[in-house]
Amino acid sequence: MGDATGLVAPELGSPHLVAEVRGRVLHLRIDRVERRNAFTQDMYRGIKRAAVWADEQRELDAVCLTGTDRWFGAGGDMSGASSDPEGLAAEWDPTDQFPFRHLERCSKLWVARINGLCHAGGLVLALHCDVTIASDQARFRAPELLRGIPDPFLTARLAAMVGVARARSLLFTAREVSAAEAGAMGLVGQVVAHDDLDAATEDALAAIARTGPAARAAVKRDLNARLPLADVGLFFHAIRSAEMVEGMTAFIEKREPDWPRG
């Protein structure tokens, strides 16, 4: 759809991403509620495309990322489902489709409107956004180690947001936390009543629009330059390991994993 700016939201390559330009904001909604908004690989690539496209649009101020119904994002789809397997086959690096670095490289501010469950890859997306506003009904969890997954994007950002002690607690126990606890520990920037989520998000977008585009892009670059780089090799080497295969297989089969110890 188009807008008074003349911009038309791009085709992102996934039926589960709803994109619309309103004002000077690209609104991006994750819509795969039948799978709790679990991300297929082409959904991740679509968000990456949105970041690349938004970066090139002088008329844009921000990208607003949100979910549908009770879900923000439940993480990556363990089934490996994709509507573009041929395109994905061309990507030899299994981390290439992930959008996380592109959100931080994008000169536009990314605002996460966290409407509900925010687990795993959904949490990683939120951690890479610039402004996070969560409903008081949202829930947060980092369950990657239950699947045998050492996620470098998560470890690179979680400790920076909440401190090492809390990061260790969240990662090593995989416990779920409420929006109130997430706000108190700094996992998100703001928590509001669920019925006030739209108004709070619009207020944040309006406030962003009043700031200087070049200055805020410079501040974003400076802030992100202080954050550690993700060691993508951690994931690259683990993805074919017996432990990760067992972890994901156990998840799909809804059983406890039998971890290889050799």
The ranges assigned to domains in the chain are 17-87+95-197+207-252
pLDDT tier at 226, thresholds 50, 70, 90? very high
Kindly state the tokens that stand for 41: 């690989």
Q: Which stretches of the chain are assigned E, i.e. beta strand?
A: 17-22, 25-30, 62-66, 71-73, 109-114, 117-119, 131-135, 139-141, 177-178, 190-192
Find the Cα–Cα–Cα–Cα dihedral 77, 105, 103, 129, rounded to 10°: 130
User: Residue 23's pLDDT is what?
Assistant: 94
pLDDT digits (tens, 9 = 90+) for 96-147: 678 999 999 999 999 999 999 999 999 999 999 999 999 999 999 999 999 9
Residue 88 has pLDDT above 50, yes or no: no
Mean pLDDT of the chain: 91
Residue 80 has pLDDT above 60, yes or no: no
Amino acid letter, 214:
A
Tell the CATH superfamily of the 17-87+95-197+207-252 domain. Answer: 2-enoyl-CoA Hydratase; Chain A, domain 1 (3.90.226.10)
Cα end-to-end span (Å), the chain: 54
Kindly state the tokens that stand for 240: 């074919």
Nearest alpha-carbon partner for 128 in 97, 150, 102: 102
Rounded Cα distance, 95 and 41, in Å: 10
User: Residue 76's pLDDT is what?
Assistant: 87
Q: Any long-range contacts for 166-175 (C-beta under 8 Å, 24+ apart)?
A: 170/141, 170/142, 171/142, 171/144, 171/145, 172/145, 174/141, 174/142, 174/143, 174/144, 174/145, 174/146, 175/141
User: Residue 236's pLDDT is what?
Assistant: 77
Residue 93 has pLDDT above 50, yes or no: no
Strand order in the sheet with 62-66: 17-22, 25-30, 62-66, 109-114, 131-135, 190-192
232 contacts 165 by C-beta, under 8 angstroms? no
